[in-house]
Amino acid sequence: MSGNTFGEIFKITTFGESHGAAVGVIVDGVTPGVEINEAYIQTQMDRRKPGQSSVTSPRKEYDVIQIMSGVFEGKTTGTPLFVMLHNHDMRPEAYTEIQNSFRPGHADFTYLQKYGIRDHRGSGRASGRETAGRVAGGAVARKLLENRGVQVLAYTREIGGIRCESFDEEIIEHNAVRACDSTAAVKMINKIEQLALMGDSCGGIVECRIRGVIPGLGEPVFDKLDAELAKAMLSIGAVKGIEFGAGFTAASMLGSEHNDAMNSSGFLSNHSGGIIGGISTGQDIIFRISVKPTSSISVSQQTINVQGEEQEIKTEGRHDPCICPRIVPVVEAMACVVLEDHYKRQAAMLQ
Ligand SMILES: Cc1cc2nc3c(=O)[nH]c(=O)nc-3n(C[C@H](O)[C@H](O)[C@H](O)COP(=O)(O)O)c2cc1C
């Protein structure tokens, strides 16, 4: 199985399955001599772990990380930084029923088509659990970016058709859906709880704002900064779309409206989302991703089994009724990986 590594100079390789012994990440290309400890990485892991509230999967994973290599006396050594998390709360028996059938919307059918074998327990590698390694790797990148003055912040903009009408950064980590509007957050939580009672799920939109990036990052033509961020985001399970700045609205704007005019103090607007020609402008980088409704639902649906016979399926077990709250730290982690990689690529080009 290839395709488990992301990045050119600053690279992460994730490993592990949902109900295997462990998950984690190997981070390569780490700057030596940077202070980092387990507590710093753990803070990010705690934001992603399941069982945080009534609107996330009740699986009880403590996600306690161990740094196995790459750090000596509290500082990075520049050698591969290997972070591991043991899986604890596994209930593979909960997946026996889906062992021989395909959940609509999940990767059961496609994994079997590709590999001819599939670890059905908790979705194996196609589980949201794979993102634990990304968040650990992203925390290392975030530490390096902090020293560069870069801040990466993601939050929920919309869930189940309920939109945030205001933006308050202070409340994001203080509501269960990580929304930027407290009134909308209450409605979103109610909606998810109602849908969960009916055995259904919903999706939403997560926005990411990156501040403090220097102008000039990005490698045209195939490794444009927006193309790299898009690949990073679309590699996260359940992410179905991405737009930068004005995004799809640009299609109905006039050139005179959409262009980011300039004066001697800089840009007068940011419809580009902070990237033009694949290169950062120095303005905030802003993008939004669309997150599909969780596919594992206990509403009865039509499917087939591995013999191709038609059957009804209801997916019981512990699932996120909406993935948005838990995907927020994953979006930040992947954005951090892309940016740290591009800072290093820019430095290499200037040598
Ligand atoms: C943090 C996170 C948690 C997730 N939780 C679930 C879940 O509980 N149940 C589920 O069916 N899918 C969940 N997913 C989504 C699946 O991983 C994803 O839908 C699946 O791998 C198929 O990939 P695709 O939706 O990108 O096509 C989660 C994804 C993430 C990133």
Residue-wise pLDDT for 222-248, tens only, equals 999 999 999 999 999 999 999 999 999
Mutating to test ligand 1, I would choose from 320, 326, 327 the residue with most ligand atoms within 8 A of its C-beta, which is 320
Give yes or no for residue 303 CB within 6 A of ligand 1: no
pLDDT greater at residue 154 or residue 96: 154
Cβ neighbours of residue 9 closer than 8 Å, sequence gap 6 or more? 29, 341, 344, 345, 348
pLDDT band, residue 146 (cuts 50/70/90)? very high
Is pTM, for the whole model, over 0.75? yes
Q: What is the pLDDT of residue 58?
A: 86
Distance 238 CA to ligand 1 centre (A): 5
Say which residue the tokens 């199985």 belong to: 1
pLDDT band, residue 149 (cuts 50/70/90)? very high
pLDDT at 108 over 90: yes
pLDDT band, residue 295 (cuts 50/70/90)? very high
Q: What is the pLDDT of residue 61?
A: 81
Distance 294 CA to ligand 1 centre (A): 6
Distance, in Å, from the CA atom of 188 to the CA atom of 182, rounded to the nearest integer, reads: 10
| Average pLDDT of the segment spanning 288-299 | 97
| Average pLDDT of the segment spanning 34-56 | 94
Q: What is the pLDDT of residue 317?
A: 78
Q: What is the pLDDT of residue 349?
A: 95
Distance 270 CA to ligand 1 centre (A): 32
Nearest to 50 by CA among 344, 322, 336, 350: 322
